[in-house]
Structure 1
């Protein structure tokens, strides 16, 4: 069945959903030092559902509207209740006197958009989300921290999408909220309550950090002048489970003197393959070096050996991220085997997998405040960098609001800047396949599709998880 990007979306209603029970007076929730490393960018995530089974016999427009109305009412009621616990998402971000962002928890509420798209789920061109998702199915966040859009499809299905301020939440936090929202919709007990205790991320006294962090992060004032940004495009691929296993096998094919090395993970193998693939193509811009960064979550690292702290950090809502990276020459990446590239990935990633790294990063930010800083992998005037954020904990199969598991779900993050962005996530089919969202310069996408078409298959309706 041919896919379709040329469809219309009409907004039928705009409203604001606030927390059902404001639990306290408006107050300020300071950003942690790790929150301050995030620029003011918004992140989208969306879920596609087929027509509810209970509505399968409905055929009239009026009956379709009734079903969609029930789904929207379910979403809004559960959202209002979820915002009681996740009250930060109902607030607003303001600047304090030092020029730093901070969150005012005032129950301003969440913008909720209802819409209709004259396209069937099977015909959505999800391979090219710039045409089918951006500006159509994922809302534009105009105010507040979070916005929601529920879009009825021509076939009776629904797309539920959110967009949130990355300065307030990372993907782990967003996932926690999405699971709680769906649990409330099904009248289930919350599996995880959020924790907003910023004291877990306070700087030490006296502060101290390893000077290697100066090579990983950079104050914005010292950034190089930005070159003219080459436009980037978004793509969504499916990578089969057997391909992932094959990449891991190749990444673990060591020489005799490397046999004592630990096995490379699937993510390390995937990142190595992607790094090598983009470097192996003939680029119009003649890059000499190429950077790869990987986003690391610090929750488990900061709580090693402390069960009580681990319990709270498991529910910590905010950003607990680091952005380690490495830069290699194009020549090395082209000529060395995948196992060598995977070892390079493992080595720079390993540096950030400790509690000391995150404690040092908190102290590094404190030493540079109030001047904002960003990960140095983003300071890339020639575009020769990409960042991979593992979405393997993306709980796509858990986001059931009462009408079944998603047929599809993905993050949607067309960020600015020069470095590209890649996020691998589990397939909603639960069969070991990966869904991979990419936002890269067109040239890099063409290289990937030329040299790695056997791994990255354009997403089609055959990859949807229909019940």
Structure 2
């Protein structure tokens, strides 16, 4: 069941370009060989909701003006984000650090945080209102890399929504930039963690040397999409599912006693993978897989050491693969076991594949501009074929929010499969959002 529609109006000022407040290097900077892969050439949306609880430093100040001023100062340190992407030889992405700036929108909405209620639970059904899609700004080449809208609310709180070109940053890179923005808004002269480019750390060797088989880049056999139940002609919708301690315990009851070593992330990923496969009603012989984004931050790989301030994309996606029929027929324990022991099958955005990103430990909810911590801070929605895990507090209870993207009929079946295990009669879909 979707949340009831809530109408409100947003009055926006014309979008402006914010440039660094001081001169910055005019140079070309190459993205890494991870950054510029085709599957990362899209825009990612984030959102933060703040109460009217200013610190003594911010008492009587306008959050829009504070953040707008801090943005120009932050771009002095993150000056590549004020540039534009160009393509070099063989479509290699390069940042032209020309200081053209990022887009900023000042806005006011005739609604309060209290009226929004649980609609702040992502996926955000009103993202187009709090993050206006400036005409011609959402491309990859020669477009602003960053768009920010700050919307004042009638209660004195505000919403900050952000759209960023994924090739330039991963979720942690976004947090690092936003934390710098917040520090400068509160008076800091420079970031506590200076940004580091050094994308050459993730350049392929010359000539490239492949030391192991990377199945994730091999082509995949197409699924049997001729079945009407796959709902292949409909647009995907996005929904989120809350899993608190009660729901986690209900899922655990479906596992055999020998499974003693697994995280909540592994449990919910395996559970979502199996429910999605059941919901899509694929041919039993179709091969499905779950790909898990694994960050390299804080780790050393073959002598590589990434500096603390590195804000580029730093992940790989090991995966598990199974025939759809086997995954559906076996108990949940099979999915958990199988996911843990399999290798690295193909990465493909094919219907039936599940790509999971865990943002619970990215600290996106720790961005404080001087008005306290946000009610929610993180991704505003997931992406086609993707699932996002995020921290979320609901009715005073901490839990995990799982965002899914599926065709409408498949989403209904996904909900039913989840309800069977959780044992809840009420629909657990809180938000529906058409992509």
TM interval, shorter chain, is 0.7 to 0.9
2:414 maps to which residue?
448
CA–CA separation in structure 2 for the residues paired with 1:9 and 1:286: 48
Q: Deviations over 1:253-304 (max 9, x none)?
A: 32xxxx7xx7112211110111112223473888844321111212344x25
CA–CA separation in structure 2 for the residues paired with 1:432 and 1:405: 15
**Which of residues 81, 85, 95 is equivalent to 2:87?**
95
2:392 is aligned with 1:424: no
1:378 maps to which residue?
348
CA–CA separation in structure 1 for the residues paired with 2:94 and 2:252: 42
1:68-107 superposed matches below 5 A: 70-107=62-99
2:292 maps to which residue?
294
2:204 maps to which residue?
203
* Cα pair 1:151 1:160 within 8 Å, conserved: yes
2:315 is aligned with 1:321: yes
What TM-score comes out, normalization by structure 1 length? 0.76
Offset, 1:334: 2.0
1:275 maps to which residue?
273
Query: Does 8-17 or 106-115 show the bigger shift?
Result: 8-17
| Higher relative helix content | 1
Query: Does 38-47 or 289-298 show the bigger shift?
Result: 289-298
* Cα pair 2:236 2:406 within 8 Å, conserved: yes
Gaps of 5+ in 2: 138-142, 227-231
Q: Secondary structure at the match of 1:314?
A: coil
CA–CA separation in structure 1 for the residues paired with 2:416 and 2:107: 37
Offset, 1:252: 7.1
Q: Secondary structure at the match of 1:194?
A: coil
2:185 maps to which residue?
185
Gaps of 5+ in 1: 56-65, 353-374, 461-467
2:248 is aligned with 1:240: no
Offset, 1:93: 0.8
Q: Secondary structure at the match of 1:173?
A: helix
2:109 maps to which residue?
117
Q: Secondary structure at the match of 2:156?
A: coil
2:362 maps to which residue?
394
2:329 is aligned with 1:335: yes
CA–CA separation in structure 2 for the residues paired with 1:138 and 1:378: 29
CA–CA separation in structure 1 for the residues paired with 2:369 and 2:256: 41
Call closer, same or farther: CA 1:153–1:203 in 2, change over 3 Å. Answer: same
1:231 maps to which residue?
235
1:139-154 superposed matches below 5 A: 139-140=132-133, 142=137, 143-154=143-154
CA–CA separation in structure 2 for the residues paired with 1:28 and 1:232: 38
Q: Deviations over 1:17-55 (max 9, x none)?
A: 11122332x111111111122442000100111223579
Offset, 1:318: 1.2
CA–CA separation in structure 2 for the residues paired with 1:19 and 1:229: 45
* Cα pair 1:293 1:324 within 8 Å, conserved: yes
Offset, 1:232: 0.9
What TM-score comes out, normalization by structure 2 length? 0.81
2:182 is aligned with 1:158: no
Q: Secondary structure at the match of 1:236?
A: strand
Q: Between Structure 1 and Structure 2, how many residues are aligned? A: 404
Call closer, same or farther: CA 1:450–1:31 in 2, change over 3 Å. Answer: same
Task: Quote the RMSD (CA, aligned, Å).
Answer: 3.4
Offset, 1:379: 4.1
Offset, 1:71: 0.6
CA–CA separation in structure 2 for the residues paired with 1:78 and 1:202: 33
